[in-house]
């Protein structure tokens, strides 16, 4: 019986090898950009049938681990790598691809619009503001009758880039939050119920009257959830729009490694809880064919690919960032030779 | 296996059922027999190796995190703060044990009653009609249970069950606090439904092995039907029922998806069943993909090790229980 299994296994692996005459590029990482990445990969495959890009959305943590160990050709992460993580992956370049945002949703049947000050939001999540008719909320919403009801706080229970962006924002606007729970993909929440994924948080919010939660903008748009207005860095009340998210990165001077937080940025329209999502690629590619194809794909994604973003509820990169990424890509090499130097 | 007494046990030559065929192999010679024995030994040792590999690998990844926190603190502390590398597993252990206990308290009487009804009282036609949906329950994916729990069970608990329990049994710390819906109780009820088919169907198998004459003897001595069940059927089947319960408990301890969707995912220790909690498998599944560093990943692996330890410990207790309560030949082991 055993030899039969062996022979069958051998035959299978041979068949696998024979069909792999296409150039297969492997990537792994963040789940948040998965819908647009898979669209890009399939569009790009239509343009270049000989190149197939395979992406596993296993989470940013897994993506960082795999690209550090070079078991994949590129990684993807919602949060930039820490200095410590980057030390282990020398020569790794962050390349922003699209932008996402986090919005505040709530459940009060009578209340259709809501304005929340940054400090008030932090205090709600710190458990210091516990009732909807708290003066801090009532003052900013004079036209709305806020009920005398307890606030049920909902947050993500799974480690996620969304939580990272949200807690990054809270850390910027509230010193107390920064000193307390801090910023991370999973934090020690002072109060609240955890829901798994955007759908879990939405489930908690939809079912519990008097609850408040945070979800990805794309998820809120697709499910037509009303979202709260926030006061941005310049003091304007803004709703989350794709243009507002793009504006969040437009004014900021970009460092060469793009490892920068773009929450609470200046700009009249800038929405304050926004972030890049990144591809992680080594600056010098070892495999000639793969490296060449990968860099050309990224160039395509940064230009033609951006047009697909809005349709899938991602904010496209502002022109200033695309321009900077062009320079970065031109500086990247395959076995020491630049590939895109003459691209425009 | 319907009527073991009609088949002379031990006389393999006359056994014509196909499932007995491998046992007649020795008659045909030694070589296939030996090969078969070697193959089975290799497979058996392989299972042990896999278990050992899991433990050693979890220890390799999780060891540093346990060393960082100290084993005692890791198990007894209740703060879980990945951004500050503070890892205390107590709320998760507590949540796992409490939800499994609630599940057993609800599922055991129902399952046992159902099994007794189907084997002792119901006509054969009813038995086959009722046992089909029970078997079906076992095949429902746990994420479906979780969704059903979140959208159907939790609102019912919040609006009706928890206020009622609070009003009538509110003097117990178990039933105090605001009715949120999501929490230990919701997770326990979902788990009870999930382990019900396991306990019921194995109990049915066990009860069917109780010899008819035992029952008839009790009835002949003037016992009522309930007395016959209590005095002759249950003692005979007790070991098997304990085994069935332990299999159910094993599933409850390890259930991840359905629990995380209804337990509220808040790492706190509360006496009230209405409060949100957390469980060991749930936190591993939730945080592993986006764990922020070596220590965080390690701490999650260490939680896996803890879960393994809890399961092994409970299995040992179950074995002892089975050994202590063994009366008849019905032996189902967890």
Chain A residues in contact with B81 by the CB 8 A cut-off are 181, 187-188
Closest CA to A154 of A114, A101, A207, A219: A207
- Which SS3 state, helix, strand or coil, does residue A27 take? strand
In this predicted structure, the answer to whether residue A4 has a pLDDT above a threshold of 70 is no
**pLDDT (0 to 100) of residue B28:** 54
Closest CA to A54 of A64, A62, A44: A44
In this predicted structure, the answer to whether residue B93 has a pLDDT above a threshold of 70 is yes
**pLDDT (0 to 100) of residue B47:** 95
Chain B residues in contact with A59 by the CB 8 A cut-off are 289-290
Confidence of residue B325 (pLDDT cuts 50, 70, 90): low
- B287 touches A: beta carbon within 8 Å: yes
Q: Strands A284-285 and A333-334, how do they pair?
A: parallel
Instruction: Closest CB to B291: pick one of A61, A204, A207.
Output: A61
Task: Give residue for tokens 């899938």.
Answer: A312
**pLDDT (0 to 100) of residue B13:** 39
Q: How far apart are CA B291 and CA B285, in angstroms?
A: 10
Contacts with A129 (C-beta within 8 Å, 6 or more apart), sequence order: A120, A123, A136, A137, A151
Find the mean pLDDT for residues A105-117: 92
Check: CB of residue A249 under 8 Å from CB of residue A99: yes
In this predicted structure, the answer to whether residue A343 has a pLDDT above a threshold of 80 is no
In sequence order, the β-bridge partners of residue A51 are A23
Contacts with B65 (C-beta within 8 Å, 6 or more apart), sequence order: B74, B87, B295, B296, B298, B299, B301, B302
**pLDDT (0 to 100) of residue B131:** 82
Candidates B290, B298, B301: best to mutate against A (most CBs of A within 10 A) is B290
Q: Kindly determine whether residue B82 and residue A187, on different chains, have CB atoms separated by under 8 Å.
A: yes
- A177 touches B: beta carbon within 8 Å: no
- C-alpha dihedral over B54, B56, B61, B65, to 10 degrees? 120
Chain A residues in contact with B264 by the CB 8 A cut-off are 193-194
Searching chain A, which residue's CA lies closest to the CA of residue B154?
A: A207
Find the mean pLDDT for residues B285-313: 89
Flag the least confident range among A77-81, B56-60, B303-307.
Answer: A77-81
**pLDDT (0 to 100) of residue A62:** 84
Searching chain A, which residue's CA lies closest to the CA of residue B88?
A: A188
- A333 touches B: beta carbon within 8 Å: no
- A60 touches B: beta carbon within 8 Å: yes
Output the six-digit token pair for A149.
Answer: 């009801």
**pLDDT (0 to 100) of residue B322:** 77
Can you give the pTM of this predicted structure?
0.79
State whether the Cα torsion A192-A194-A199-A203 is positive or negative. Answer: negative
Q: How far apart are CA A315 and CA A334, in angstroms?
A: 30
- Which SS3 state, helix, strand or coil, does residue A229 take? strand
Instruction: Closest CB to B291: pick one of A159, A189, A192.
Output: A159
**pLDDT (0 to 100) of residue B292:** 74
Alpha helices, H only, chain A: 2-18, 34-47, 60-68, 83-87, 118-126, 135-140, 161-173, 175-179, 197-207, 217-222, 242-250, 288-303, 319-330
In this predicted structure, the answer to whether residue B12 has a pLDDT above a threshold of 70 is no
Q: How far apart are CA A53 and CA A44, in angstroms?
A: 9
**pLDDT (0 to 100) of residue A21:** 67
Check: CB of residue A81 under 8 Å from CB of residue A195: no
- A56 touches B: beta carbon within 8 Å: no
**pLDDT (0 to 100) of residue B326:** 61
In terms of average pLDDT, the best of A184-193, A272-281, B289-298 is: A272-281
Q: Kindly determine whether residue B261 and residue A194, on different chains, have CB atoms separated by under 8 Å.
A: no
Output the six-digit token pair for B1.
Answer: 């296996």
Q: How far apart are CA A37 and CA A27, in angstroms?
A: 10
Contacts with B246 (C-beta within 8 Å, 6 or more apart), sequence order: B314, B315, B318, B322, B334
Flag the least confident range among A53-62, A219-228, B25-34, B223-232.
Answer: B25-34
Chain B residues in contact with A161 by the CB 8 A cut-off are 290
Check: CB of residue B234 under 8 Å from CB of residue B322: no
Check: CB of residue B274 under 8 Å from CB of residue B185: yes
**pLDDT (0 to 100) of residue B207:** 92
- B181 touches A: beta carbon within 8 Å: yes
In this predicted structure, the answer to whether residue A19 has a pLDDT above a threshold of 80 is no
Q: Kindly determine whether residue A193 and residue B182, on different chains, have CB atoms separated by under 8 Å.
A: yes
Chain A residues in contact with B293 by the CB 8 A cut-off are 82, 84-85
Q: Kindly determine whether residue B182 and residue A204, on different chains, have CB atoms separated by under 8 Å.
A: yes
Searching chain A, which residue's CA lies closest to the CA of residue B276?
A: A193
Confidence of residue A245 (pLDDT cuts 50, 70, 90): very high
CB atoms < 10 A from the CB of A44, how many?
Answer: 20
Q: How far apart are CA A21 and CA A16, in angstroms?
A: 10
Find the mean pLDDT for residues B188-216: 93
Closest CA to B150 of B185, B181, B177: B181
Cβ contacts below 8 Å, chain A against chain B, sum to: 102
- A189 touches B: beta carbon within 8 Å: yes
Contacts with A267 (C-beta within 8 Å, 6 or more apart), sequence order: A232, A233, A234, A247, A248, A250, A251
**pLDDT (0 to 100) of residue B20:** 47
**pLDDT (0 to 100) of residue B9:** 39
- A161 touches B: beta carbon within 8 Å: yes
In this predicted structure, the answer to whether residue A168 has a pLDDT above a threshold of 90 is yes
B83-to-A182, B86, B248 alpha-carbon distances in Å: 7, 8, 36
**pLDDT (0 to 100) of residue B194:** 95
**pLDDT (0 to 100) of residue A72:** 95
Check: CB of residue A26 under 8 Å from CB of residue A290: no
Searching chain A, which residue's CA lies closest to the CA of residue B82?
A: A187
Find the mean pLDDT for residues B281-302: 88
Q: How far apart are CA B30 and CA B35, in angstroms?
A: 9
Chain A residues in contact with B265 by the CB 8 A cut-off are 157, 193-196
Instruction: Closest CB to A159: pick one of B84, B276, B289.
Output: B289
Closest CA to B99 of B255, B313, B283: B255
Q: Which domains does chain B have, with CATH numbers?
A: 90-331 (1.10.3720.10)
- B81 touches A: beta carbon within 8 Å: yes
Question: What backbone phi and psi angles, to 5 degrees, belong to B289?
Answer: -60, -35
Check: CB of residue A214 under 8 Å from CB of residue A166: yes
Q: How far from the centroid of its chain's Cα atoms is residue A160's Cα?
A: 9
Alpha helices, H only, A174-312: 175-179, 197-207, 217-222, 242-250, 288-303
ipTM for this model: 0.73
Find the mean pLDDT for residues A239-246: 91
- A149 touches B: beta carbon within 8 Å: no
Q: Kindly determine whether residue A58 and residue B289, on different chains, have CB atoms separated by under 8 Å.
A: yes
Find the mean pLDDT for residues B133-161: 90
- Which SS3 state, helix, strand or coil, does residue A282 take? strand
Q: How far apart are CA A69 and CA A46, in angstroms?
A: 30
């Amino acid at each position: 019986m055993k030899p039969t299994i062996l022979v069958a296994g051998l035959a299978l692996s041979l068949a696998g090898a024979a069909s792999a005459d296409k150039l297969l590029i492997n990537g792994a990482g963040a789940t948040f950009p998965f819908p647009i990445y898979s669209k890009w990969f399939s569009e790009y495959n239509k343009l270049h049938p000989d190149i197939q890009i395979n992406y596993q959305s296993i989470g940013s943590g897994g993506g960082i681990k795999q690209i550090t160990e070079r078991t994949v050709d590129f990684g993807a992460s919602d949060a930039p790598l820490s200095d410590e993580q980057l030390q282990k992956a020398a020569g790794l370049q962050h390349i922003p691809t699209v932008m996402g945002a986090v919005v505040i949703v709530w459940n009060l049947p009578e209340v259709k619009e809501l304005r929340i000050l940054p400090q008030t939001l932090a205090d709600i999540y710190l458990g210091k503001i516990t009732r909807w008719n708290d003066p801090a909320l009532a003052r900013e919403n004079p036209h709305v009758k806020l009920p005398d009801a307890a606030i049920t706080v909902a947050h993500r229970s799974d480690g996620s880039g969304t939580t990272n962006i949200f807690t990054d924002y809270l850390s910027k606007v509230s010193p107390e939050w920064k000193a307390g729970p801090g910023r991370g993909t999973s934090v020690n929440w002072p109060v609240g119920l955890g829901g798994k994924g955007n759908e879990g948080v939405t489930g908690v919010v939809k079912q519990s009257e008097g609850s408040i939660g945070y979800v990805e903008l794309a998820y809120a748009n697709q499910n037509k959830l009303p979202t709260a207005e926030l006061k941005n860095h310049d003091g304007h009340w803004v709703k989350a729009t794709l243009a507002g998210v793009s504006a969040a990165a437009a004014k900021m001077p970009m460092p060469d490694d793009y490892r920068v937080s773009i929450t609470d940025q200046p700009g009249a329209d800038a929405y304050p809880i926004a972030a890049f999502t990144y591809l992680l690629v080594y600056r010098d590619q070892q495999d000639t064919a793969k490296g060449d194809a990968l860099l050309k794909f990224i160039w395509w994604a940064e230009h033609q690919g951006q047009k697909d973003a809005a349709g899938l509820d991602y904010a496209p990169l502002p022109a200033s960032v695309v321009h900077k990424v062009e320079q970065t890509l031109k500086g990247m090499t395959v076995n020491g030779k630049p590939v895109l130097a003459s691209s425009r | 296996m319907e009527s073991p007494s009609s088949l002379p046990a031990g006389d393999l030559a006359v056994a014509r059922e196909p499932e007995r065929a491998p046992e007649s192999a020795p008659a045909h010679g030694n070589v296939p027999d030996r090969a078969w024995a070697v193959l089975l030994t290799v497979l058996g040792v392989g299972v042990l190796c896999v278990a050992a590999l899991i433990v050693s690998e979890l220890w390799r990844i999780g060891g540093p995190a346990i060393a960082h926190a100290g084993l005692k603190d890791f198990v007894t502390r209740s703060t879980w703060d990945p951004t500050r590398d503070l890892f205390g597993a107590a709320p998760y252990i507590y949540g796992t044990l409490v939800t499994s206990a609630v599940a057993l308290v609800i599922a055991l009487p129902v399952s046992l009653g159902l099994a007794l009804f189907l084997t002792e009282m119901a006509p054969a036609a009813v038995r086959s009609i009722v046992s089909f949906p029970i078997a079906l329950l076992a095949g429902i994916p746990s994420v479906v249970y979780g969704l059903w729990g979140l959208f159907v069970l939790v609102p019912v608990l919040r609006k009706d069950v928890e206020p009622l329990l609070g009003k009538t049994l509110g003097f117990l710390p178990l039933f105090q606090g605001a009715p949120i819906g999501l929490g230990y109780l919701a997770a326990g009820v979902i788990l009870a439904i999930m382990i019900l088919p396991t306990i019921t169907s194995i109990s049915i198998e066990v009860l069917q092995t109780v010899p008819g004459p035992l029952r008839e003897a009790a009835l002949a001595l003037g016992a009522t039907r309930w007395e016959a069940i209590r005095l002759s059927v249950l003692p005979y089947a007790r070991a098997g029922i304990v085994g069935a319960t332990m299999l159910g408990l094993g599933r409850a301890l390890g259930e991840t998806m359905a629990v995380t969707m209804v337990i509220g995912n808040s790492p706190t220790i509360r006496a009230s069943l209405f409060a949100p909690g957390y469980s060991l498998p749930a936190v591993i599944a939730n945080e592993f993909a986006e764990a922020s560093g070596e220590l965080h990943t390690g701490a999650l692996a260490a939680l896996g090790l803890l879960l393994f330890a809890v399961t092994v410990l409970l299995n040992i207790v179950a074995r002892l229980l089975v050994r202590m309560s063994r009366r008849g030949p019905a032996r189902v082991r967890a």
